[in-house]
Structure 1
Amino acid sequence: MTLPLIAVLNGPNLNMLGLRQPEVYGSATLDDVEQLCAETAEGLGLAIDFRQTNSEGELISWVQECRGRASGIVINPAGLSHTSISLMDALLSAELPVVEVHISNIHRREQFRHHSYISKIATGVLCGFGTHGYALGLTAMARILEGGL
């Protein structure tokens, strides 16, 4: 039996987790997040494809590759949330459920972070739960795929 594949995609600067503003983003590294996602996915009967890029174009290409390949997308678009209509359009064209994850609560931060183009098209949004938001996002995705959400 092939497990449903979930793309766990990460945008710019998330490779700096554990180093960049630990008072905002915590001390966990991106490797820690990947391990958390792998363990969570295994428990949920999901497979993951975990990736990070600092390039908007590369992230858009990865989203496009998900169409017909993945069952859903869990994405932390980072700063691209607030600026990238192109990423929003790519997610729409993938025609997959999308769960948007942010480590910090973007609504408690600077005003420009309060708006996310991705939130407008996401099935659901998680923010402010630290890196545990990824586990919550995968759990929500499993429920979505089961028809429970």
Structure 2
Amino acid sequence: MTDPTHRSILLLSGPNLNLLGERQPEVYGTATLDAHVATAAERAQRAGVEVEHAQSNAEVGLVEAVHRARGVHDAIVVNAGAVTHYGWGLHDALAAFDGPVVELHLSNPSAREPWRHTSVVSPVADVVIQGAGGLGYRLAVDAALGLLGLDLP
């Protein structure tokens, strides 16, 4: 169980998100991953909550981060990238996490290629935010805070 005096959210980023700002800016925008992480951290800090960020270009790295989050973090915000569509190991790891899970996508996968229309993360997510661009990071943190019963000042 997490320490009630020290609240934290794990922000988890999947494959190729380290290339944000360079890769397909017409789809994902020009902001870097570091900029999105800073936005999320600043938002959470307003509610007295810390954000830890982990990024992996492999599903195993995402699964291991979720395993480490158990009993440490109160919630997870996950942008799993392409792992969203096939990552049953990530699905199972998130299902074993005892706290809110918010699924996040910068673009709207439902409006893109057919293979992107299915998410194996959504069935274990409490909230799904997609298509809001960089605003999605703020919305995802707000959703996680709300699910934790915390309000922004």
Per the normalisation by structure 2, the TM-score is 0.93
Runs of 4+ in 1 over 4 A off after TM superposition: none
Taking the aligned partners of 1:131 and 1:51, their CA distance within structure 2 comes to: 18
Taking the aligned partners of 2:39 and 2:45, their CA distance within structure 1 comes to: 10
Contact 1:82 1:112 in 2 (8 A): yes
1:70 to 73, 80, 83: 73
- Which region of structure 1 is more displaced relative to structure 2, 1-10 or 134-143? 1-10
Deviation at 1:45, TM superposition (A): 2.0
Deviation at 1:20, TM superposition (A): 0.3
After superposition, where does 1:93-112 map in structure 2 within 5 Å? 93-112=96-115
Contact 1:44 1:139 in 2 (8 A): no
2:148 to 135, 141, 145: 145
2:120 to 104, 117, 122: 117
Match of 1:135 in 2: 138
Letter in 1 for 2:141: L
Taking the aligned partners of 1:19 and 1:66, their CA distance within structure 2 comes to: 29
Deviation at 1:38, TM superposition (A): 1.4
Match of 1:37 in 2: 40
Unaligned runs of 5+ in 1: none
2:94 to 69, 91, 95: 91
- Which region of structure 1 is more displaced relative to structure 2, 92-101 or 15-24? 92-101
Matched residue pairs, number? 148
Does 2:26 align with 1:11? no
Percent identity at matched positions?
A: 42
- Which region of structure 1 is more displaced relative to structure 2, 38-47 or 16-25? 38-47
Taking the aligned partners of 1:2 and 1:29, their CA distance within structure 2 comes to: 31
1:57 to 56, 60, 67: 60
- Which region of structure 1 is more displaced relative to structure 2, 4-13 or 36-45? 36-45
Letter in 1 for 2:66: V
Could you report, residue by residue, the CA deviation over 1:17-70 in whole angstroms, capped at 9, with x for unpaired residues? 000000000000011111111111111221110121112111100001111111
- Which region of structure 1 is more displaced relative to structure 2, 118-127 or 139-148? 139-148
Unaligned runs of 5+ in 2: none
Contact 2:47 2:150 in 1 (8 A): no
